Amino acid sequence: MLKKRNWHDQKIGYLFILPSLTILIFVYVNPMVQMFSYSLYEWSYLQKCDFVNLKNYIELFKINHFYTTIFNNFKIIITVVPVVTLIALLFSQAIFLRIPGYRIYSFLFFLPVIIPDIVVAQILTSFLNSHGPLNQFFRFMHLDFLAIDWLGDSRFSLFSIIISLVWKNIGFALLLFLARLTTIDRSIYEAAEIDGASEFQQYRYITIPLLKNIIKVYVVLQIISIMAFLFNYIYVLTDGGPGFSSTVLEYFVYLNIFKIQNMGHGAAAGVILILLSLGLISYYLISIGRSEKKIK
């Protein structure tokens, strides 16, 4: 009788999630399947022609700048994710403990979060261009060697995008970490202080372990964001250049489909983008799981 009741409850649960599941399949899964289908054909001016199997994938891996776009994604991930996470951890603790000036810090970090990406990119374009405020300041301070074309020089274009992403994303990480910290009973910190624990020890042995799960969630979200939601920044700040020095895989898909009008290559790059994202997330979660098992 109990098993029948459980099965009945499960069926009701499935019925409740069915509308959302249908929408997800239509919005996300269906385009992925279509993209894979498109990648198996040769196209002429966005018109499907012959079935070529994996030819588009083989041709992609013969293009040198295709590797550049993949490496650019990895450079951004291994730089932005650790830097943003560390800064957010540091300041979330400071804001949570309400150090002097914590309201100012909160405002400065949260402001970029509420500004649309395209507006942030436009602001930074004005700030970082060769005649922008940053270079004017360097010239005023007689530091002319630092007054460089941050967006137009292939040595610094990707670095400029990384700085932009760090500034934009710290607020979101802070929001997640603070949301978790506010659920912690302050008496834990008071007890630790009575026992003689320093602020650093409280941070290491109380704050970090309690934030561990939310850090995992944030890293996964950040990897997805960097792999698939950088178009606005690239398009406004550098247009992928100079050359392909700041082109990421997502922008490479756009270039092939809409500018070069090579749907086959663009769709194949899109499939590779999805597979890389899933691979990175899976590797991260497996690594975390293994490290936790070793600790136990």
Record the pTM. 0.84
Residue ranges of alpha helices (H) inside 204-262 are: 208-228, 231-237, 249-254
Domains of the chain, by residue range, sit at 39-295
Percent of the chain scored above 90 by pLDDT? 15
CB 257 within 8 A of CB 263: yes
Percent of the chain scored above 70 by pLDDT? 94
Under DSSP, the state recorded for 151 is T
pLDDT confidence of residue 295: 55
Scan for tokens 């002429």, then name that residue.
Answer: 44
Q: Distance of CA 278 to CAs 54, 101, 227, Å?
A: 20, 41, 10
Could you report the per-residue pLDDT of 18-73, keeping only the tens digit for each?
Answer: 787 788 777 778 888 888 888 888 887 777 788 888 889 999 999 888 999 999 99
d(CA 237, CA 153): 12
Cis peptide preceding 242, ω within 30 of 0? yes
Enter the tokens of residue 234. Answer: 């690239």
| In the predicted structure, residue 5 carries a pLDDT above the cut 60 | no
39-295: in CATH 1.10.3720.10: yes
Q: What are phi and psi of 27, to 5 degrees?
A: -80, -35
d(CA 207, CA 186): 11
| Other Cβ atoms within 10 Å of 7 Cβ, number | 10
C-alpha closest to that of 172 among 117, 119, 233, 227: 117
CB 244 within 8 A of CB 259: no
